[in-house]
Every structure is written in structure tokens, then in C-alpha cells.
Structure 1
Amino acid sequence: MTETTGPRIDEDVLGAPYLAEEIELPDDDEGPVVATLVRRPADEPTTRAVLHVHGFADYFFHTELAEWWNARGYDFYALDLRKYGRSIRPHQTPNFTLDLHDYYPELTEAWRRITERDGHDHVVGSAHSTGGLILPLWLDHEQPPELTGVVLNSPWLDMQGSAALRVLGTPVVKQVGARQPRREIRRTVTGLYTRSLHSGHEGEWDFNLDWKPLQSFTVYAGWLRAIRNGHAELHRGLSVAAPVLVLSSGASSVPNEMNEQVHGTDIVLDVRQIRRWSTAIGPHVTYVAVEGARHDVVLSLPAVRKAAYDVLDRWRTAFVD
């Protein structure tokens, strides 16, 4: 893996002081592959850093999160994984993979650049939703010595839905995913969640709707098989030794119109499954439900996300700094 470009101003997305650099990866069956490492430096030189990983149908645009960590003396990095956000190329199927382990090379290279190249020896892992499954799997595999803490924002630790659906449906998903990996999984996407976030609709955040679309992206059987394999690996138990903070909303709901539930509950994942499986990540897990939070807790309404940041600050002070 090479630095195809050095860090440059992220001029096409966030602008200065955000920097972005490509990580060139081996070609796959669709052709050339890259990931993108974004950085916002703290005001003063520091050996502390955060590495953040986004969720499905997502990418890094969370400037408030980056600035929050900067204000506490951390350089902030975020990785747009292959086929997500800044890393999507025209010849690729957005967000598609057949194995979550495929993301390990860019995570390893991003970590190397943060620690060996940029000199950080105190690094906090941060991730949201699907990234909150991928990152702990990689951390368990690599056990990087610089890791001092992990923050997981509504991590996707199990399938939503009934126990019967999870138990009976998983073998079918795995069989179809192995035999017909490009078979589309039919699902209903209301667009309410993304509408609740985007400033052009009912939200306050500006982001690229090509990279985080209202109707999400197509889900394929092979991708869902990879997710279920990742869930199974996590359910067997991981050994992430650093302190872990898991945040979620206080409740889940399934609204069919724009209402208070859309803005104040998790309408994407089942928070009961997040709570249940959090302790499988490692021996030092703190779980906090933030009442009134959205699926992406740090994109909640202002008073709620302030409460979430207060929780994060207390945890950081007690266990990380």
C-alpha cells in the first residue's frame, strides 16, 4: 500500500483545515480500490489522536465531532472505507463487500500512518453503526499497543427483528449470499432517517446525498452474509483490552411518517441488541443509553447531543486521559 497522494486540503468536501489522503489498495474484481484518510489537526502539536470509522451508506462529515476532540488535545482522523464516500469510484458497487475482513488492510495502514508516520502513541478508536462492528473485529485481531480507548456510537452488533427471524433467517442469508452474492435483498426504506438529518429536509446537517442517499444503497445477499459472519464472530466474544464506551438511543421505533420518534429514537437498529452484545467486545465496557438520541447519537437534536458529549467527556476523563 502506498500514499498515492500526500495529505492535501479536503477541498472538494469539507475544506481547510481538513486534510485528505488516499490509501491505494490491491485491485479487486471490480478494479482499482482506494480508501481515504481524513484529518483535522488540533491547534497544538499532540501525540494523541482519534481514528473514526463511519457506518453503512455513510462517510465522514461530522465536523462537530472532530472539533470536540480537537478542543481536548487530539488530532482527529476519519477513514472513508473502500467504496464509501470519498473512496467511491465510478466502476464500483457502493459499500459492497463479501467479507468484513477486507477492510483490515486500510485500517492497518491508517493506523500505521497515525502512529508510525505521524507520531501518535495514544489513540482512541471511534466508530458508528456498521463501523461499530468492523472496528472492534479489527482491534481484536490487531491488538494495537497505542489503543487507549474505544467509543462506539450505536454499533450494529446483531440483526434487528425477532429472535425467530435472526435464528431462522441467518442460515438462509448465508446460503443465498454464498451462491448468489449479487442478489438484491428487498427491503423498505422510508428515507425518514436521512431526511431527519439533512439540512435540505428536516435536519441541520449538510452532507452529500450521493454518498449518504435518502433511500440508502442496495443491500446484496453477499454483503448481508458478511455482516452476519461478523456478528457471529463478535458473539463468540472479543478481547479488546482498552476501555470501551458504547452509546445508543434510549429506545427504538419504526415510524412511517415524520414525527418526534424519528428525531428522538433509533429508527435504524434495535437498541436492545446493542445493549445485549456490548459486553462481548471486551472486559471493560461501559454502556450508556442517551434518551432522545437518534441512531447517530452525535447527530441528535442539540440538547440531546450535548448530553451525549457530556457522557463522553466523563468517560474520557475517567478512563482514557
Structure 2
Amino acid sequence: MADWSADFLGAGFEQRELSARSMPAGTLVRFVPTPQESADSSDERGPADSNIALLYVHGWSDYYFNTELADFVSARGWRFYALDLPEHGRSLRPGGRPGYIPSAEHYLESIDAALDALAADGTGQIVLMGHSTGGLAAALEAQRRPDRIAALILSSPWLVPHGGRAAGRMLEYALAGRATARPDQVIPLPSRGYFWRAVAREAGGEWDLREDLRPRTAFPVRAGWLYGILAAQRELLAGSTVSIPSLLLASTRSDTGLVWREHMRSRDAVLAIGPMRRAARAVCSSLDEVLVDGGLHDVLLSAPSVRRGAYTRLGAWLDRVVDASG
């Protein structure tokens, strides 16, 4: 495994490449506050050398960049890590297929490699947090290997196909042949950059996004990738329930229409909230909800007042479910 090196996010952030079965498994990022930053923290709930950690997994066509999340976790005295999945963000390589992960098994291999690296780093309890497609992967990980995770945070997770489970099964069946014979085939879908438009500074948001790591619309949707996602959603919803403490973090409202509306700056413009909530309840037997009015698809990228409230409620939940003395 490669050594840690400086990350482009700046002071305190480091990265290293991961491998699984001799194959690239993504890039792990960690935040190591300087001694002065640790001393300046007003949060005294945990020691700076706590063995509790939060591991964040981003969504499709995305990468980790939210330094506020690292600050929030570090202020608790916990360790913070984030995983850039293969063919995403820091893990993009020349000649690769951006965004293409052929099956849920490859997602889980990447998460397992990250969990192994955290264990080697001296981490004990791990809170796994997944956003959107990363939430689907995190839920599968918790379903299969609950012994490795203390708690699960599903941030606007993509747990159920657009149009519902029946539509997902029909599309999965239709894609089966192409996913085997031509997995790289690009499926023509409407280009929608609504989430980027709500988040990026140059479009009226407040976040600086690297377009070489995250496109304005999305990476090409390939038959093999979409087939793998649909199969993973079907497996998750048909499998055993996740019994570890789990949280659904999402907006209260959504608008997934094909025409941009300014109110999409305060709603989930990617996934419908109703099906998401029903699927999360079906998957997790010990589920709490933090539904945030004015939240975006990624609630923690919403307007400052919105995400401050979200962090407060998230922190209260973590206090209740994670044993800081464990």
C-alpha cells in the first residue's frame, strides 16, 4: 500500500492509493489536524487520539471535497477519512472509463480496502457515511458486514430505481444482454447539470469544484454500470435488514423534473424523497431520520444556515448512538 502524501485540499489533508486483489481500489483521504487546530477546538467530547472514525463515500460522478465535514468530525475528537472510488475524482487515470464501476462487488471491494486501511491506522469504531450511489454501496456493506461498522449514515441514498422497483426490474432485464456483450456502451440520457448548478460557485452556489474531477452534468452512463446498480438495488431490497444504528439524512422536498427551476437550489433535484424514505425504512430496522428543510441532494452542501442546522442534528444523533468510550 502506498504511503500517505499531501492532498490538494491543503493543510492537514493527506491521500494514499488503495488496492484490492492487486487491482486499484480507489484513493483514501484523511484529515490530520495540526496541533494548533486541535488545541483551538472548543469541543471537548473526545480526545484528539480517539479511535473512532467516520469514513465518507461520495456519490456517482463525484469526489470528496467538503472540508467542513472533516472539520465537524475532527471537532468531535474523531478521525476523518473519505474514499474516492475507482474511476472517480482522485482515482481517475488517463485512458480510464470515468464513473464506470461494473458491479456492486467492486464498490464493496473498495470500501473493504478502505476499512482495512483504517484498521491498520489504529481505528476502532467506524461510522460509515455514504451519499447517493455511495449510500447504496454503504448500505450493502452494512447489510453484509455489520460487524465492521458501528453506525450507518445514508445521505440521500439511491436505494431504489427511478420509477420504482418494478420499473427497475424491467430495465435490468432489458440491459442484461448489453451489460454482458457491450458493457461499455453509452446509454443516451438527457444531460442534467442541476445539482452542479445549485452547488458550484460559478453557477450561484458556494463550493469550488474541480471540473477535471467532477463534470458539470455527469460521466457517461454505460450499460454495464447501470445494470450493476439496478442489480445492487434489487439485492439490497431483497436482503436481510440492516440492524446497526442507521440515519437517513435528506431534504424534506424534491423536484426531479427535466426543466430547471430556481427552487431546485433548496430541494433534492436528483432523487425523489418519498421512495427514498420508504426504501430506507425497509432496509434498516433501526432507522432515524434527519430531514432538512431547504436541503439539496447533498444536504451538507446546502445554504449555510441549512447545513448548520443539519450538522447540529447529525451531531446529536451521533452522540446518542456512538459510544465514545468504546
TM-score using structure 2 length:
0.89
Q: Aligned partners of 1:163 and 1:150: how far apart in 2?
A: 23
Q: Aligned partners of 1:161 and 1:240: how far apart in 2?
A: 24
Q: Does 1:68 align with 2:72?
A: yes
Per-residue CA deviation, residues 74-122 of structure 1 (Å, 9 max, x unaligned), is 110001111111011102101112211012232222112212x221212
The worse-fitting range, judged by mean Cα deviation, of 98-107 and 291-300 is 98-107
**Distance of aligned partners of 1:47 and 1:193 in 2 relative to their CA distance in 1, 3 Å threshold:** same
- Taking only aligned residues, the RMSD between alpha carbons, in angstroms, comes to 1.9
Aligned with 1:209 (options 194, 199, 211): 211
Letter in 2 for 1:122: Q
**Distance of aligned partners of 1:238 and 1:299 in 2 relative to their CA distance in 1, 3 Å threshold:** farther
Letter in 1 for 2:264: V
What is the CA distance between 1:40 and its match in structure 2? 0.5
Per-residue CA deviation, residues 1-34 of structure 1 (Å, 9 max, x unaligned), is xx1x211211xx202210111113456xxxx635
Aligned to 2:137: 134
Letter in 2 for 1:229: A
Aligned to 1:286: 288
Letter in 1 for 2:86: R
- Kindly indicate whether the alpha-carbon contact (under 8 Å) linking 1:53 and 1:131 is maintained by their aligned counterparts in 2: yes
Per-residue CA deviation, residues 217-254 of structure 1 (Å, 9 max, x unaligned), is 10011110000000001111334332000111112113
Aligned residues: 310
What is the CA distance between 1:257 and its match in structure 2? 5.5
What is the CA distance between 1:153 and its match in structure 2? 0.5
Q: Does 1:310 align with 2:312?
A: yes
What is the CA distance between 1:256 and its match in structure 2? 5.3
TM-score using structure 1 length:
0.90
- Kindly indicate whether the alpha-carbon contact (under 8 Å) linking 1:238 and 1:282 is maintained by their aligned counterparts in 2: no
| Structure 2, gaps ≥5 residues long | 39-47
- Kindly indicate whether the alpha-carbon contact (under 8 Å) linking 1:234 and 1:280 is maintained by their aligned counterparts in 2: no
Aligned with 1:17 (options 12, 16, 40): 12
Q: How is 1:29-40 mapped onto 2 (pairs within 5 angstroms)?
A: 33-40=24-31
Aligned with 2:297 (options 266, 270, 295): 295
Q: Aligned partners of 1:245 and 1:251: how far apart in 2?
A: 17
Q: How is 1:112-131 mapped onto 2 (pairs within 5 angstroms)?
A: 112-115=116-119, 117-131=120-134
Aligned with 2:88 (options 65, 84, 89): 84
- Kindly indicate whether the alpha-carbon contact (under 8 Å) linking 1:237 and 1:280 is maintained by their aligned counterparts in 2: no
Aligned to 2:176: 174
**Distance of aligned partners of 1:57 and 1:317 in 2 relative to their CA distance in 1, 3 Å threshold:** same
Q: Aligned partners of 1:256 and 1:202: how far apart in 2?
A: 19
Letter in 1 for 2:121: D
- Kindly indicate whether the alpha-carbon contact (under 8 Å) linking 1:33 and 1:82 is maintained by their aligned counterparts in 2: yes
What is the CA distance between 1:283 and its match in structure 2? 1.9
**Distance of aligned partners of 1:206 and 1:226 in 2 relative to their CA distance in 1, 3 Å threshold:** same
Q: Aligned partners of 1:73 and 1:88: how far apart in 2?
A: 32
Percent identity of paired positions between Structure 1 and Structure 2: 34
- Kindly indicate whether the alpha-carbon contact (under 8 Å) linking 2:74 and 2:80 is maintained by their aligned counterparts in 1: yes
